[in-house]
Amino acid sequence: MKPKILVTRKISDGAEEKLKKEFDVNLNLQDEPIPTDDLIKMGNDYDGLITSGFDKVGEEFFSNLNGKLKIIAHVGVGYDNISIKAAEVKKIKVTNTPNVLNEAVAETTILLILAASRRAGEAYNLVRSDNWKNQKPDLTKFMIGNSVTGKTLGIIGMGRIGRIVAQSAKAFGMKIIYYNRNKLSEDLEDGAKYYSDLNSMLPECDFVSIHTPATPDTKNILNASTIGLLPNHAVVINTSRGSTIDDNALIDALENKKIYGAGLDVFNNEPNLDNRYTKLDNCFVLPHIGSATHETRLAMSMMAVDNIYCFFNNKPLISEGERVNI
């Protein structure tokens, strides 16, 4: 009898077809979120799950399992929506999809750097509202932003994504400095300057970009105290996890012009972000699209399916809850 696999959200067509060849599969053809209570009830009917960040797979889910479920293949790098400790107690494997989205997230980071510094959101809204024609052609004031070229980019978390961002930023002549749990080897640093103390790095940043996982150590790593160390022309960029920023502190800094701006792709309590962000002209926001390219989503889906295949065929897993730590 083929193992039964539940796919909680739509994944790439090619990945679904590959999965159906090997397993008894229940696909979510409507791509509607499965309510947590329903997911808990369904957990005992399947040998494996393929989940996304929209699914809340917490302690209650695991406490109701009867032993049938053996693996959860998560489509995404971060898996803070899954109770890993509870999964370990039940001896359920949890895998994720690291590395295949590094370039896409780095591209989104550069997009945010440019958009936030050059006031792209304001400019876009001005044209779309047909209000451009009502503006005075003042060469010293109209949509004046800040240049990126030659500025200093501080990276919090110099893992794989952080290093790709650094490499891309150098195309603009940016100086790279970084804070990391450990100093990188000279070849991986590639000319970047290491800071062992975050508080010492932040005053040097024209831009600061977060590239850490969501852990107790990184929760609110940018807070009132650390944001207060940034120059008033600084721009905060986040494509990692919303929990790394204290919303009240960042919004206060933006509202009171303590910093120049922010570019954010991730938020606390997604998709129900703090709506004060959407009212700020100096905050460029995206709906967590860091990995949203055809190529990346296909690769993520395929890796999740391959992990399911490897598990049930007694082969080494491609990834098993791999985090990229700072």
Active-site residue, 16 included: no
- Could you tell me if 173 and 191 are in contact, meaning their C-beta atoms sit under 8 angstroms apart? no
Active-site residue, 163 included: no
Alpha-carbon distances, residue 194 vs 72, 155, 186, 228 (angstroms)? 37, 10, 10, 21
Token digits of residue 125: 């809204």
Catalytic residue among 9, 211, 241, 297: 241
Question: Angle 311-39-33 (CA atoms, 0-180°, nearest 5)?
Answer: 100
Provide the sign of the torsion angle of the four alpha carbons 236, 241, 243, 247, taken in this order: positive
What DSSP string runs through 247-277?
HHHHHHHHHTTSSSEEEES--TTTTS--TTG
Active-site residue, 59 included: no
Catalytic residue among 9, 74, 160, 288: 288
Catalytic residue among 17, 255, 270, 295: 270
Q: How many CA atoms lie within 13 A of 78 on its CB side?
A: 22
Q: Among all residues, which ones are annotated catalytic?
A: 241, 270, 288
